[in-house]
Amino acid sequence: MNGIEKNRLDLAYKRQLCFLNFILIVGVGSVISLFIGLIISRQN
């Protein structure tokens, strides 16, 4: 495997990793806000 192919694979991996991190952050934030909303609505 030459250096250009390795570099291309590394960039593709970093892009997928960034996308996965974004999805995880948005998902966890939405789940936390859902639980907070349920707790607040139950108190009212």
Task: DSSP for 23-37, please give it.
Answer: HHHHHHHHHHHHHHH
Whole-number average pLDDT of the chain? 93
Residue 19: phi, psi to the nearest 5?
A: -65, -45
pTM check: above 0.85: no
Find the mean pLDDT for residues 17-32. Answer: 97
Mean pLDDT (whole number) for 10-34: 97
Residue type (1 letter), 40: I
The whole-number pLDDT of residue 2 equals 85
CA distance 3 to 15: 18
Query: Per-residue confidence at 43, pLDDT binned at 50, 70, 90?
Result: confident
